């Protein structure tokens, strides 16, 4: 038969359970706005009855979180895609600003002004004002190319800085997860307690990680979470965590590489192992998207310089016959003995000119593509002229070609079927080796606008070259001569706009999906004030009833004692 002492213990346990329940309600209310907090509840189980079958009341069980691990896992799967679209949208907008044409300062405007200046010069080939306009607008165009290329390089450097910050954040979160693993394992070691708040903090840290990189996580039997990022790099394992480190790769523009550093300073390049998340998209934007747009600019700049130079090199300006001319591009010792690249089979003409700008002699030098080196061409040129007292070619110490006439003589270029004037940069309008990065007006154009070629053979008023260059605006010159400069550049801008719009749509869809999963999580785990207040009243009544039960049993014991 149960004793009064056992009844008193039963009441005391009931009182304790309701007191814990009231404390848990207060804890939930206090953490209503705490990010990542899961509401907690006190559970109790029926105590074992005595041998006669009389119940023993209730026993408290460890306080638990109201938490759905399957919903949380789905959020961790979808978060990296949200981070990826967010990062892509941010940097595509910055690229769009670089290519912006809204304020009349874009490349399109500079190209139009460049072509218009050549069109005006073709109408007034001997006008100093028209020549100055060509020089100014050409210089603006070249500077626009260089600035845009430089701004894209700057954006790549900005991404380097952001990647460094994200690497530090990943390391901090990894350290936090490892430390929480240690604390949780220590707290739950006896198996009688749940480290609810620490588990929430660990979940929050893992969720923040999933914004940055794609992750896979699982919990071992001891309650410790293992976190794997990218394809297969273990960031956290039990109480141990492993560092990420940013190291600079070589090249003219140092690019940050992401290394994983394990025990004994063993390193592995993880740059290409991230599939989703902010870091993966920043790497993709830096190494693919921005580089692609730089290549677009290079393609326009190279094609523009090549087409303009090809026409300009064989023309003449006002009194522009030269006594000496050096090629823009020199060759290193190894290249001097190799066939010159990009040449075509055909002739290359040089005209010898007297002090009155009358052509005295025309020399035709045959060029063999894929065979002739620069020394071969110089030797053949001197053999064709056959008189160093008139005109002579030589190779300078820097590997450049030097053409020099004797006193009282000058020279101009004629027809060039071989493209040697373009290859070496003779009488060129633009100079460039890398495209948009370094395109600029040739030095002899900057020094004297009379050197701008408008006609041929020093004929006064001749506008054939200027007309031919002006017509390049509407000629199919890009992509195997299938589209104009404007069509190609408009295609680049249109593709960029479509990419931005598509990303906005995909980002909105992805964020909507993640938001719905978080709403489901909130409906399960978030603190609902109305529910907590209802529970508080229930626990208050139960606590009062437990206290009255203990008081009644106490009076019964007093009666027994006084008998």
Q: What is the dihedral of CA 28, 33, 37, 42, to 10 degrees?
A: 10
Pairing verdict, β 267-269 and 256-261: antiparallel
Same domain, 327 and 256: no
pLDDT tops 60 at residue 1: no
Same domain, 329 and 259: no
CA pair distance 365, 381, nearest whole angstrom: 6
CA 212, 218, 221, 223 dihedral sign is positive
In a domain, 180, yes or no: yes
Same domain, 260 and 185: yes
Mean of pLDDT values over 364-371: 94
pLDDT tops 70 at residue 251: no
CB atoms within 10 A of CB 476: 14
**Counted domains in the chain:** 3
Q: What's the per-residue H, E or C state across 416-485?
A: ECCCHHHHHCCCCCEECCCCCCCCEECHHHHHCHHHCCCECCCCCCCCHHHHHHHHHHHCCCECCCCECH
> Who has greater pLDDT, 496 or 539?
496
Percent of the chain scored above 70 by pLDDT? 98
Which of 236, 257, 273 is the last residue before a domain boundary?
273
Q: What is the pLDDT of residue 250?
A: 60
Q: What is the pLDDT of residue 2?
A: 63
pLDDT band at 318 (very low <50, low <70, confident <90, very high): very high
pLDDT band at 64 (very low <50, low <70, confident <90, very high): confident
Mean of pLDDT values over 98-112: 88
Instruction: Select the highest-mean-pLDDT range: 6-10, 102-106, 308-312, 355-359.
Output: 308-312
Q: Mind listing the pLDDT tens digit for each residue in 113-168? A: 999 999 999 999 999 999 999 999 999 999 999 999 999 999 999 999 999 999 99
Average pLDDT, the chain: 91
Angle between the N-to-C axes of helices 485-525 and 107-123, in degrees from 0 to 180, rounded to the nearest 10:
170
In a domain, 280, yes or no: no
pLDDT tops 80 at residue 192: no
Percent of the chain scored above 90 by pLDDT? 68
Instruction: Name the helix (H) or strand (E) containing 268.
Output: strand 267-269
CA pair distance 294, 280, nearest whole angstrom: 20
Q: What is the pLDDT of residue 48?
A: 75
pLDDT tops 70 at residue 549: yes
In a domain, 537, yes or no: no
Do residues 500 and 93 make contact, with C-beta atoms less than 8 angstroms apart?
yes
In a domain, 150, yes or no: no
Do residues 312 and 421 make contact, with C-beta atoms less than 8 angstroms apart?
no
Which of 368, 399, 426 is the last residue before a domain boundary?
426
Do residues 334 and 399 make contact, with C-beta atoms less than 8 angstroms apart?
no
CA pair distance 504, 127, nearest whole angstrom: 52
Do residues 163 and 258 make contact, with C-beta atoms less than 8 angstroms apart?
yes
CATH code for the domain of 356 = 2.60.40
- Segments forming the whole domain that contains residue 401: 323-426
CA pair distance 520, 69, nearest whole angstrom: 12
Q: What is the pLDDT of residue 253?
A: 56
Same domain, 264 and 169: yes
In a domain, 414, yes or no: yes
Closest CA to 281 of 231, 211, 204, 207: 211
Q: What is the pLDDT of residue 553?
A: 78
Q: What is the pLDDT of residue 428?
A: 93
pLDDT tops 60 at residue 268: yes
In a domain, 471, yes or no: no
Same domain, 344 and 415: yes
In a domain, 521, yes or no: no
Do residues 337 and 373 make contact, with C-beta atoms less than 8 angstroms apart?
yes
Longest dimension (CA), the chain: 148
Instruction: Name the helix (H) or strand (E) containing 150.
Output: helix 128-187
Closest CA to 314 of 149, 141, 460, 453: 453
In a domain, 187, yes or no: yes
Which of 32, 66, 100 is the last residue before a domain boundary?
66
Residue 244 structure tokens: 């990420």
Q: Mind listing the pLDDT tens digit for each residue in 66-103? A: 989 999 999 999 999 999 999 999 999 999 999 998 77
pLDDT tops 80 at residue 405: yes
> Who has greater pLDDT, 252 or 476?
476
Dihedral-angle region of residue 95 (phi above 0 means left; psi in -120 to 50 means alpha; beta otherwise): alpha
Residue 58 structure tokens: 């209730």
pLDDT tops 80 at residue 497: yes
pLDDT tops 90 at residue 552: no
Q: What is the pLDDT of residue 450?
A: 94
Q: Mind listing the pLDDT tens digit for each residue in 222-235? A: 889 999 998 889 99
Closest CA to 117 of 506, 501, 449: 449
Q: What is the pLDDT of residue 344?
A: 93
Same domain, 231 and 170: yes
pLDDT tops 60 at residue 362: yes
CA pair distance 473, 469, nearest whole angstrom: 8
Strand, helix or coil for residue 60:
strand
Residue with tokens 């020199």: 330
């Amino acid at each position: 038969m149960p004793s009064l002492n056992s009844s008193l213990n039963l009441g005391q346990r009931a009182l304790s359970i309701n007191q814990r329940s009231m404390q848990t309600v207060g804890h939930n209310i206090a953490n209503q706005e705490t990010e990542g907090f899961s509401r907690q509840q006190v559970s109790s189980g029926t105590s074992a009855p005595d041998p006669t079958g009389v119940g023993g009341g209730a026993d408290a069980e460890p306080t638990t979180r109201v938490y759905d691990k399957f919903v949380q896992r789905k959020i961790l799967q979808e978060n990296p895609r949200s981070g990826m679209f967010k990062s892509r949208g941010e940097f595509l907008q910055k690229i769009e600003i670089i290519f912006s044409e809204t304020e009349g300062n874009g490349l399109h405007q500079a190209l139009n002004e460049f072509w218009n200046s050549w069109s005006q010069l073709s109408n007034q080939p001997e006008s100093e004002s028209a020549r100055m306009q060509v020089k100014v607008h050409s210089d603006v165009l070249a500077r626009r190319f260089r600035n845009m290329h430089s701004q894209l390089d700057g954006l790549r450097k900005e991404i380097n800085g952001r990647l460094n910050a994200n690497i530090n954040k990943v390391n901090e979160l990894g350290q936090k997860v490892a430390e929480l693993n240690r604390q949780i394992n220590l707290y739950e070691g006896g198996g009688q307690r749940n480290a609810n708040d620490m588990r929430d903090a660990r979940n929050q840290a893992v969720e923040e990680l999933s914004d940055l990189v794609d992750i896979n996580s699982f919990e071992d039997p001891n309650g410790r979470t293992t976190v794997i990022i990218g394809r297969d790099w273990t960031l956290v394992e039990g109480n141990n965590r492993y560092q990420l480190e940013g190291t600079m790769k070589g090249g003219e523009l140092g690019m940050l590489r992401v290394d994983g550093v394990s025990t004994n300073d063993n390193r592995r390049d993880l740059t290409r192992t991230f599939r989703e998340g902010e870091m993966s998209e920043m790497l993709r934007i830096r190494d693919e998207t921005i580089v692609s747009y730089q290549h677009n600019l290079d393609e326009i700049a190279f094609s523009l310089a090549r087409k303009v130079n090809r026409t300009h090199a064989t023309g003449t300006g006002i009194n522009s016959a030269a006594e000496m001319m050096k090629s823009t591009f020199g060759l290193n010792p190894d290249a001097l003995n190799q066939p010159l690249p990009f040449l075509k089979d055909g002739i290359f003409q040089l005209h010898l000119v007297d002090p009155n700008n009358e052509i005295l002699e025309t020399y035709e030098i045959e060029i063999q593509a894929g065979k002739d080196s620069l020394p071969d061409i110089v030797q053949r040129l001197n053999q064709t002229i056959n008189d160093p007292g008139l005109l002579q070619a030589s190779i300078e110490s820097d590997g450049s070609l030097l053409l020099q006439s004797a006193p009282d003589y000058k020279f101009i270029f004629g027809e060039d079927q071989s493209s040697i004037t373009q290859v070496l940069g003779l009488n060129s309008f633009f100079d460039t080796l890398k495209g948009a990065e370094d395109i600029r007006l040739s030095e002899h154009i900057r020094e004297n606008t009379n050197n701008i070629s408008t006609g041929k053979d020093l004929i006064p008023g001749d506008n054939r070259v200027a007309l031919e260059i002006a017509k390049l605006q509407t000629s199919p010159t890009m992509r195997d001569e299938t589209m104009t400069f404007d069509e190609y550049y408009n295609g680049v801008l249109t593709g960029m706009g479509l990419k931005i719009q598509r990303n906005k749509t995909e980002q909105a869809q992805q964020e909507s999906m993640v938001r719905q999963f978080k709403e489901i999580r909130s409906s399960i785990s978030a603190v609902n004030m109305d529910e907590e207040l209802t529970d508080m009243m229930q626990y208050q009544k139960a606590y009062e009833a437990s206290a009255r039960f203990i008081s009644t049993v106490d009076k019964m014991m007093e009666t027994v004692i006084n008998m």
